[in-house]
Each structure stands twice: as C-alpha cells, then as structure tokens.
C-alpha cells in the first residue's frame, strides 16, 4: 500500500470533530494534526495520539501536510483563511455562502495557482452533493424545473452567522420547508417557487448579558444572503434550554428535477438526504474530497476547484480498474 495521505484539520468545532470521525473510516488517510485557536489542552482528540497545535504553527508545517481541511465558518473564518492557506497547502473547505462563491473562488484561485497548490472549495452537501445533482438534473432534462428543499433541520451556516452577531452568546437556526410548496415540487410541478414560498427560518438565541434583544432580532432578520429573503422567527432562550433542547444537529432535504423528454412524457429525478448529524455528514464529504484534491494535485491540476471539476472516481479509495469491475 502507498503511504497514507497526511491530512490536517484547521478549526476544531462541530465540523472539525466530524472530520476526525470520518478519517477513522478511511485507512488510506492519516490525521497528522488538529490546529486550533483554543488552548491545546482544551481539545480532546478522538484518538489520544493525534497531535494538537496552535493554529499559528500551521505556516511552519507545510512539508508535513498533504491536505489541510478548513473547518471554520463561512461568514468570517474562510474568507480570510481560504486564500491564506491555499498559498501554503492543498486545501478543502465547505464555504457555503452561495452568492459569494464566485468571489471566494477567485480569492483562493490566485494564491493556489501562484504556489502550485490545489484548493477544493465549497464541498459538503449544499453546496456540494446537491449542486452536483442540480447540474446533472439540468443537463439530463434540459426541458424542466429544479427544486431544492432543505430541512426540517439545523443549518450550520445560518447558526454560525447568528452566533457572530455582537450580543449573541449562543444560537441555532432551523430551516423549515413549507409543506405545501414541498408537495407541489414532488407532484412534478414545473412552476418556479420563490425563496420565501419554499422555506421559513426559525432561530433560537441566547443573549449575552446586557444585549439588546430587539437589535439582535433586527440584525438577524435583515442579514443579506442568510435571512433577508425569508420569513424568519427569532426566539430568545436560556443557555440551559439551548444545551438541553437543541443539541441534535439533524438536517437533510432533496433536489428534484422534473422535466419532459417529449410533450406529455414526464421524467423525475430525486436525490434526498436524511442526516442525523449535519456536521458529521459534511465532514464525510470533505474527507472524500480531500483524497480527490490530493490526487488532482499529484496530477498537476492546480488552483481553485469545485465539486463540478472533480471526476467521481477520484473520490473513491478504489482504483479505476476496481470501480469498473465492481460499480459500473
């Protein structure tokens, strides 16, 4: 067997912990370090022999790491870390602010290319697996309509965005699909549904002492990209309630493409996910893409890449021959 791919984690929140778990299922990869902003003694790795470092040490460790998985949030961490680390490492991240992906791609592409690194951005399930299924659906059934639904579930991205608001001590956000809209999409309807028609958003927020609840509510509901286009409810709760009632991070959803190949001949494609842990599943996707990013790098394909640029065979630990024999 060839040497394992040396993977490191930058950021040890829910996603970072999920990546640790996912690597344990992939014997061709080895976790060589967890890099964190928190004091190292506060981190207890799943495997006690996993080294923990201060994130500032990353820059000096470029020759020890084949792929760095960036596990920070899209609102504030990745816009800074993505371009910075793409100059030093092959990277994989789950940047998920859809409207900003083109700018983020450009910001990561330049340093990655200049330093002959491969940076796989916006992997996960949406963006990620759902994006692939949207593109596939449209390519296979050009005469049709695509519907994406999320939830009922806890969005990591939206929860992170609320937690960054000054005055917020803790928060979760649930994405609630509107049943009537879901029904309509599932019935094969070709009518375009608006953002507001399809989902509602519900936040549970713990305030810091002295914080102004109305101001926090206002900042949430007006936040562009995250909440402004939706009907959003904000509930204020205690830290105890947050810990007691909102620890499960279930999520999921589906992408449907309904189309016609000839008039009167309807075809439907559906891809759906039911996730008991949103971050653990996202982490599993990131780890498969870490393998692919490393292989692309070995093939001399540098710069920023997205899930659209990765042949599916590169995600699998199996060889092309094995895949042809077993899964074609």
Q: Cα separations (Å) of 118 from 95, 142, 249, 309?
A: 15, 32, 31, 12
Look at residues 75, 73, 72 and name the one whose alpha carbon lies nearest to residue 35: 72
Work out how close the CB of 226 gets to ligand API at its nearest, in angstroms, rounded to a whole number. Answer: 9
Site string for ligand API, 101-130 (x = CB under 6 A): -----------------------xxx----
Tokens for 99, please give them: 């409207």
Q: How far is the CB of 30 from ligand API (least distance, A)?
A: 27
Please pick, from the candidates 151, 177, 252, 303, the single residue that binds ligand API as defined by CB under 6 A. Answer: 151
If the CB atoms of residues 101 and 110 are measured against ligand API, the closer one turns out to be 101
Q: Note whether 185 and 149 are within 8 A (CB).
A: yes
Please say which residue, 150 or 254, places its beta carbon nearer to ligand API. Answer: 150
Going by C-beta distance under 8 Å and a sequence separation of 6 or more, which residues neighbour residue 150? 126, 175, 177, 199, 251, 252, 253
Q: Of 155, 136, 11, which Cα lies nearest the Cα of 97?
A: 155
Per-residue string for binding with ligand API, 196-235, x by CB under 6 A? Answer: ----------------------------------------
Kindly state the smallest distance separating residue 75's Cβ from ligand API, in Å.
11
What the block records as the tokens of 97 is 């602010």
The two three-digit tokens of residue 103, written as one number: 């700018």
Nearer to ligand API, 111 or 124 (CB): 124
Cβ at position 154, least distance to ligand API in Å: 7
Select the span of 43-51, 65-73, 107-115, 155-163 touching ligand API (CB under 6 A): 155-163
Segment lying near ligand API (by CB under 6 A), choices 44-52, 147-155, 184-192, 320-328: 147-155
Give the whole-angstrom CA distance, residue 250 versus residue 103: 30
Phi/psi for 286 (5° steps) reads -60, -40
d(C-alpha 67, C-alpha 302), whole Å: 13
**Which residues in 226-285 contact ligand API (CB under 6 A)?**
251, 278
Name the minimum Å distance from CB 74 to ligand API. 8
The number of residues that bind ligand API (CB under 6 A) is: 13
Check residue 14 for interaction with ligand API (CB under 6 A). no
By C-beta, is 125 or 302 nearer to ligand API?
125
Q: Does 150 bind ligand API (CB under 6 A)?
A: yes
Pairing mode of beta strands 118-120, 303-305:
parallel
Site for ligand API in 79-98 (CB under 6 A): 96
**SS3 labels along 219-278:** HHHHCCCCCCCCEEEEEECCHHHHHHHCCCCCEEEEEEEEEEEECCEEEEEEEEEEECCH
Pick between residue 118 and residue 175 the one whose CB is nearest to ligand API. Answer: 175
The answer to whether the beta carbons of residues 7 and 287 sit under 8 Å apart is: yes
Q: Which of 81, 156, 232, 306 binds ligand API (CB under 6 A)?
A: 156
Q: Which stretch binds ligand API (CB under 6 A): 148-156, 236-244, 266-274, 312-320?
A: 148-156
DSSP per-residue codes, 122-157? S-SBTTBHHHHHHHHHHHH-SSEEEEEEE-SEE-HH
Residues that bind ligand API (CB under 6 A): 96, 124-126, 150-151, 155-158, 175, 251, 278
């Amino acid at each position: 067997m060839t040497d394992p791919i040396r993977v490191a984690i930058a950021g040890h929140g829910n996603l970072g912990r999920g990546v640790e778990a996912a690597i344990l299922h992939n014997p061709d990869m080895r976790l060589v370090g967890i890099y964190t902003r928190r004091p190292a003694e506060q981190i207890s790795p799943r495997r006690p022999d996993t080294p923990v470092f201060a994130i500032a040490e990353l820059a000096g460790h470029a020759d020890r790491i084949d792929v760095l998985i960036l596990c920070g949030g899209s609102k504030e961490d990745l816009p800074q870390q993505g371009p910075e680390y793409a100059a030093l490492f092959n990277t994989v991240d789950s940047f998920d602010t859809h409207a900003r992906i083109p700018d983020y791609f450009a910001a990561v592409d330049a340093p990655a290319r200049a330093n002959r690194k491969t940076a796989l951005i916006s992997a996960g399930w949406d963006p990620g697996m759902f994006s692939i299924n949207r593109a596939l659906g449209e390519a296979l059934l050009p005469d049709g309509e695509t519907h994406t639904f999320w939830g009922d579930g806890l969005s990591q991205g939206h929860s992170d965005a609320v937690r960054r608001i000054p005055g917020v001590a803790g928060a979760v956000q649930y994405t609630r699909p509107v049943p009537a809209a879901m029904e309509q999409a599932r019935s094969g309807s070709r009518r375009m549904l608006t953002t507001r028609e399809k989902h509602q958003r519900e936040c549970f927020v713990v305030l810091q002492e002295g914080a102004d609840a109305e101001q926090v509510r206002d900042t949430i509901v007006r936040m562009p990209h995250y909440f402004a286009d939706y009907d959003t409810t904000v509930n204020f709760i205690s830290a105890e309630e947050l810990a007691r009632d909102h620890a499960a991070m279930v999520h999921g959803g589906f992408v449907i493409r309904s189309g016609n190949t000839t008039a009167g001949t309807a075809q439907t494609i559906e891809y759906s996910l039911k996730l008991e842990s949103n971050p653990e599943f996202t982490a599993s996707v990131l780890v498969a893409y870490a393998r692919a990013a490393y292989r692309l790098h070995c093939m001399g394909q540098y710069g920023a890449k997205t899930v659209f640029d990765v042949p599916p065979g590169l995600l699998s630990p199996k060889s092309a021959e094995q895949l042809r024999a077993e899964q074609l």
